[in-house]
Copies of this chain bind each other. A is one copy, B any other.
């Protein structure tokens, strides 16, 4: 907080100020496609241990910044740390992803939930933020993050990843008041968690709403967007001046509503052109995205052509944070990422002028 940020391209782009070129970082940039990540992950023994050991979390957080010169670091962590701190018993199974030992299967379980205190029950996250901030020493901004209440609720109710969200949606239809109580608890938990990350040094905060797109349109607004708006309103007081990025995957039909949420920046997936997204959200909200992560499996010159297309679609560098439309995939060739970064660093001179 006290150290000034040397590369503040991301912060200026988020404020829609002029920048020499769009900042670039990638969702899931610290991850399995990097050999140095796999080495640290092996040292940690498990994914959760890696999240819970501040020095190792710091190590992997910085790896992609060191290798690619990204304009931001994003804290290495997981959205399910919060429900884990609420007592649901998070574990990861190889190949099957996250699961909870105690999913919420009745209203009594929902009503028993408490709001975890970030500095005690999620202290390892706050320590990781402080360790990363100290190590970064102001090189680039640090992004802290959390899952959206709706997205966390789906995991907590289903007990694991789901394709159809049958239990969460049944609750939505059959006992919407119970779902709203769960979401209200999560609004408090996530709001306090993000505010604590900002207090510990995070320069930017991001809400990942991975499953907002599973809801129908009125359901999205009521159960996904409104809880996120409440968190953003809380952060405006608890962490004033800290930009918030909101990303609901698969919700491009709701961009206009998202632009009214109070978020500084809206993340968009690859199924809409940035020109159309810009027209929908107006000039005062930054946009983040939106190259298809699978485009990175093309040849490097094709990757660069796609980067130029994305940059040209937005047109101006102010208000554009270059990113993928979703997290980078495990088997992504590293030379593609180098080609991607090079294209953002150089071709913008032609495209943005």
A299 at the interface (CB under 8 A from B): yes
Tell me the bound Cα distance from A325 to B213 in angstroms.
Answer: 13
Within 8 A of B (CB), among A272-305: 272-273, 276, 290, 292-295, 297-299, 302-303
Residue-by-residue, is A309-341 near B (CB-CB < 8 Å gives 1, otherwise 0)?
100000000000000010001010000000000
Given A271-B216, A272-B217, A276-B217, the answer on whether A164 and B252 have CB atoms closer than 8 Å is: no
Binds B, one of A167-175, A179-187, A197-205: A167-175
Question: Shortest beta-carbon distance, A60 to chain B, in Å?
Answer: 23
Contact flags (1/0) for A200-219 with B, using CB distance below 8 Å? 00000000000001011111
Are the CB atoms of B270 and A173 closer together than 8 Å?
no
Chain A interfacial residues counted at CB < 8 A? 38
Q: Which of A200-256 contact B (CB under 8 A)?
A: 213, 215-220, 250-253
Does A36 reach chain B (CB closer than 8 Å)?
no
The answer to whether B253 touches A297 (Cβ under 8 A) is no
**Contact assessment for A173 and B250 in the assembled complex, using a CB-CB cutoff below 8 Å:** no
Interface check A165, CB cutoff 8 A? yes
A350–B14 Cα gap in the complex (Å)?
Answer: 48
Contact at A272–B292, with CB atoms within 8 Å?
Answer: no
Residues in B with CB closer than 8 Å to A216 are: 270-271, 273, 290, 292, 295, 325
Bound state CA distance, A329 and B165, in angstroms?
Answer: 12
Determine whether the beta carbon of A218 is less than 8 Å from that of B272.
Answer: no
Q: How many protomers of this protein does the assembly include?
A: 2
Instruction: Answer whether A272 and B253 are a contact pair too, CB < 8 Å, given A173-B299, A299-B173.
Output: yes
Q: Judge if A166 is at the interface, Cβ distance under 8 Å.
A: yes
A306 at the B interface (CB under 8 A): yes
**Which residue from B164, B220, B290, B306 sits with its C-beta under 8 Å from A271?**
B220
Q: A218-B309, A253-B252 are in contact. Are A169 and B271 (CB under 8 A)?
A: no
Cα–Cα distance between A104 and B276 once the two chains are bound (Å): 35
B residues near A271, Cβ cutoff 8 Å: 213, 215-217, 220, 250-251, 253
Roughly how many angstroms separate A217 CA and B273 CA in the complex, as a whole number? 6
Query: Do A298 and B173 touch across chains, with their CB atoms under 8 A apart?
Result: yes
A101 to B291, CA, bound (A): 32
Which chain B positions have C-beta within 8 A of A290? 216
Residues of A within 8 A of B (CB): 164-166, 169-170, 173-174, 213, 215-220, 250-253, 270-273, 276, 290, 292-295, 297-299, 302-303, 306, 309, 325, 329, 331
18 A-B contacts, Cβ less than 8 Å apart?
A: A164-B294, A164-B329, A166-B297, A166-B329, A169-B297, A169-B298, A170-B294, A173-B299, A174-B299, A213-B271, A216-B271, A216-B273, A216-B295, A217-B270, A217-B271, A217-B273, A218-B273, A250-B271
Other contacts beyond A173-B303, A216-B271, A216-B292: 18, CB < 8 A: A164-B293, A164-B294, A166-B294, A169-B295, A169-B297, A170-B294, A173-B299, A173-B306, A174-B298, A213-B271, A215-B271, A216-B273, A216-B295, A217-B276, A219-B292, A220-B271, A251-B271, A252-B253
Which 4 residue pairs spanning A and B have beta carbons closest together?
A173-B298, A173-B302, A216-B270, A169-B294
